[in-house]
Amino acid sequence: MPPTDAIRSDLAPTGKLRAAINFSNPVLAAKDPVTGQPAGISSDLARALAHRLGVDIEFVPYYAAGKVVEGLKSGAWDVCFLAIDPVRATGISFTGPYIVIEGVYMVSQGSPVERKADVDRPGQKVGVIVGSAYDLFLSRELTQATVVRAADIESVMDLWTDGKIDAVAGVKPQLEAIAASKPGLRVLPEPFMAINQAMGTPRGREIGARFLSDFIDEMKATGFIAEAFARNRIEGATMAP
């Protein structure tokens, strides 16, 4: 449906669409090496939505998913690009997913761990980025292993180097890249979760949330998502049905 004043009031209350972009997820977001401007499928969708609404775009940069969620408290953004999670859904109205990314474990080459079930053992410590989708998921799912949190992937790898964790949890493309660049690491082939990436808007903006859901459905149906996949050369993820 065409945007109404009520929809614009929900999704662009300042007169601009303030889109939170999480640069810590390389599958979804990056910076153009020439212009330094946001690039990737998240920014493509944000620009398309702003165009549909007839407003300017304002990107709000973040470097951790947990920081995006914290931005709710100050009303820093109008739409976000995050993995769907029941904890986050208490404050965010999510659309259906548009991308699915596998969450996987990385261990040492000599580790006896071969399957995801092997990770959940007494004494095992799993490093995660605090507030990430897999942090929230593993905090609910792991019953014997301990989740150890750090601010970003670099800090998680520092924990690994210092021998403070036995496994690293993360998104498959990022951990595969790390394992390829650092000898002695391997990624388990079995994912521990499917990370469903969606757009979201703060709860309470129900008219805007319905419009946003319809927008994502249309972007999938018209092939926009498929074109963005190809244009951004996305690997390690699949398009959501």
pLDDT digits (tens, 9 = 90+) for 42-84: 999 999 999 999 999 999 999 999 999 999 999 999 999 999 9
- The percentage of residues in the chain with a pLDDT greater than 90, rounded to a whole number, is 95
Give the pLDDT mean for 30-46. Answer: 94
- Mean pLDDT score across all residues of the chain: 96
Alpha-carbon dihedral of residues 132, 138, 144, 147, nearest 10 degrees? 0
Lowest mean pLDDT among 55-59, 149-153, 228-232, 234-238: 234-238
CB-based contact 71:64 (threshold 8 Å): no
**41-53 and 206-221 are packed helices; what angle lies between their axes, rounded to 10 degrees?**
120
- φ and ψ at residue 239, rounded to 5 degrees: -75, 135
Predicted TM-score (pTM) of the model is: 0.89
pLDDT class for 103, splitting at 50, 70, 90? Answer: very high
Token digits of residue 188: 């388990």
CB-based contact 202:74 (threshold 8 Å): no
Task: Return the bridge partners of 187, or none.
Answer: 106
Token digits of residue 152: 């970003």
Is pLDDT of 235 > 90? no
Taking phi over 0 as left and psi of -120 to 50 as alpha, with beta for the rest, 223 belongs to: left
What is the set of domains in the chain, with CATH numbers? 5-99+196-239 (3.40.190.10), 101-193 (3.40.190.10)
Taking phi over 0 as left and psi of -120 to 50 as alpha, with beta for the rest, 236 belongs to: left
Give the pLDDT mean for 194-217. Answer: 97
Please choose, from the candidates 211, 238, 240, 239, the residue with its C-alpha nearest in 3D space to the C-alpha of residue 9.
211
- φ and ψ at residue 66, rounded to 5 degrees: -60, -35
Coarse DSSP helix, strand, coil percentages of the chain, rounded to the nearest 5 percent:
35, 30, 35
Q: How far is Cα 92 from Cα 136, in angstroms, rounded to an integer?
A: 15
What are the pLDDT digits (tens) for 193-205?
999 999 999 999 9
Q: How far is Cα 241 from Cα 239, in angstroms, rounded to an integer?
A: 6
Q: How far is Cα 207 from Cα 204, in angstroms, rounded to an integer?
A: 9
**41-53 and 224-231 are packed helices; what angle lies between their axes, rounded to 10 degrees?**
140
Strand, helix or coil for residue 44? helix
Q: How far is Cα 189 from Cα 193, in angstroms, rounded to an integer?
A: 12
Q: How far is Cα 105 from Cα 117, in angstroms, rounded to an integer?
A: 11
Q: How far is Cα 24 from Cα 82, in angstroms, rounded to an integer?
A: 11
